[in-house]
A and B are shown apart, each in its own frame.
Chain A
Amino acid sequence: MNAKAIVVTSGKGGVGKTTATANVGAALAKQGERVCVIDTDVGLRNLDVVMGLEGRVVFDLIDVFEGRCKLRQALIRDKRVETLYLLAASQTKDKSALSESRMQDTVRALLDGENFDRVLVDSPAGIEAGFRTAAAAVQGALVVVNPEVSSVRDADRIIGLLEAREITEVRLIINRLRPSMVKRGDMLEVDDVLEILGVKLIGIVPEDERVLVSTNVGSPLALDDGGPRTTAGSAFRDIARRIGGEDVAYPDLDTSKGVLAGLRRLFGGR
């Protein structure tokens, strides 16, 4: 993706925005980019705990907005990847402290002043002030969607709002896909979701218990190298490589003997 500042959003809550931000951010940093992830879920911050950095938050995004600290003082360096930084949301303030223009200033300062290659902005659920602030300074978007009715509907709404803001690089992450349910015909296939939403795909992440285990210990799954290509961690690493411009083929996620026809037809040939 050409966009240096990218929002991770979904409309609906609980579909995996924060997990996607932590994992894609970590994988991008590990492949050599200098990455800052920003949590804009003011009042309900969580990116800090998902990344295992909760003990090191001193200053937050709202402190930066309101001038209580320098930008650099609020940047928390990751424990494992030294080119990965977190800018945490405030847990005590509410969304009225958000500001689209301050967000634009902050992202510009990160890219130009602090020499970051990429800024990933974790958006809160919803389409109100939190989302608008998260989307205020970006040129690209990763829309996280689960293959189920409410998530797809909300994603469509979010995609409309992103297009209205002239955010041109909108890419879809289909999260929590269950190949066995797709095979039975009880879950939308990847090409169903793409047909309905009409945006380009950048990743398919299978449902994977290891995601929860990794958040329990605050260590993004994408940092654990190795393992089969059918894991969520591998899917997040693939997304980071595609963001970096690599053409990465989609693995067949069906671990049983059968053929996951939709996935195969779409991606097997590449």
Chain B
Amino acid sequence: MFGLFRRRKTKDDLKQRLKLVLSYDRARLSPGKMEQLKRELLAVVQKYFPSEGEDLNVRFEQHADRMVLIADLPRQQPR
């Protein structure tokens, strides 16, 4: 019952923020540059798939001891 009203643990926020900021730090890339990379990638994708690309998601992920740059583009189902 009391669990319903328990506030969010602040350390969980901190952990998420640290993971994000460290992924940029480790890649030596600022969040602004990341936005730029995303825009340029989108421009290239749209050259080949003119109607797509709005859902492009670009991010870093930690895979074991490697940092991986993920560009994730869900394709529209071709009919």
Number of A-B contacts (CB under 8 A): 35
Instruction: Contact check, B65 vs A196: say whether CB atoms are below 8 A apart.
Output: no
> Whole-angstrom distance from the CB of B64 to the nearest CB of chain A?
9
Binary contact track A140-181/B, C-beta < 8 Å → 1, others 0: 000000001100110011001000000000000000000000
Instruction: Contact check, B25 vs A186: say whether CB atoms are below 8 A apart.
Output: no
Instruction: Contact check, A153 vs B11: say whether CB atoms are below 8 A apart.
Output: no
> Whole-angstrom distance from the CB of A162 to the nearest CB of chain B?
14
> Which candidate, B15-23, B30-38, B46-54, B70-78, is the interface stretch facing chain A?
B15-23
Residues of A within 8 Å of B17, CB to CB, are 149
Known contacts A152-B18, A196-B18, A196-B19: A185-B11 contact under CB 8 Å: yes
Chain A 200-244 interface residues, beta-carbon cutoff 8 Å to B: none
> Which candidate, A38-46, A100-108, A187-195, is the interface stretch facing chain B?
A187-195
A268 contacts partner chain B, Cβ-Cβ < 8 Å: no
Residues of B within 8 Å of A184, CB to CB, are 9
Instruction: Contact check, B11 vs A192: say whether CB atoms are below 8 A apart.
Output: yes
Binary contact track A110-142/B, C-beta < 8 Å → 1, others 0: 000000000000000000000000000000000
Known contacts A156-B26, A160-B26, A198-B65: A186-B11 contact under CB 8 Å: yes
Which residue from chain B places its CB closest to the CB of A148 in the assembled complex?
Answer: B14
- What CA separation (Å) do A187 and B18 show in the bound complex? 13
Instruction: Contact check, B25 vs A149: say whether CB atoms are below 8 A apart.
Output: no
- What CA separation (Å) do A65 and B22 show in the bound complex? 37
B12 contacts partner chain A, Cβ-Cβ < 8 Å: yes
> Whole-angstrom distance from the CB of A157 to the nearest CB of chain B?
7
Residues of A within 8 Å of B10, CB to CB, are 185-186
B12 partner, pick from A148, A182, A185, beta carbons under 8 A: A185
Which residue from chain B places its CB closest to the CB of A147 in the assembled complex?
Answer: B11
- What CA separation (Å) do A44 and B25 show in the bound complex? 29
Residues of A within 8 Å of B25, CB to CB, are 153, 156-157
Residues of A within 8 Å of B18, CB to CB, are 149, 152-153, 196
Q: Which 4 A-B pairs have the closest CB atoms?
A: A185-B9, A186-B10, A188-B11, A156-B22
Q: List 16 A-B contacts (CB under 8 A).
A: A148-B14, A149-B14, A152-B18, A153-B25, A185-B9, A185-B10, A185-B12, A186-B9, A186-B10, A186-B11, A188-B15, A189-B11, A192-B11, A196-B15, A196-B19, A196-B22
A: which residues have CB within 8 A of B?
148-149, 152-153, 156-157, 160, 182, 184-189, 192, 196, 198
Apart from A182-B11, A186-B11, A192-B15: 11 A-B pairs, beta carbons within 8 A: A149-B14, A149-B17, A152-B18, A156-B26, A185-B10, A185-B11, A187-B11, A192-B11, A196-B18, A196-B19, A198-B65
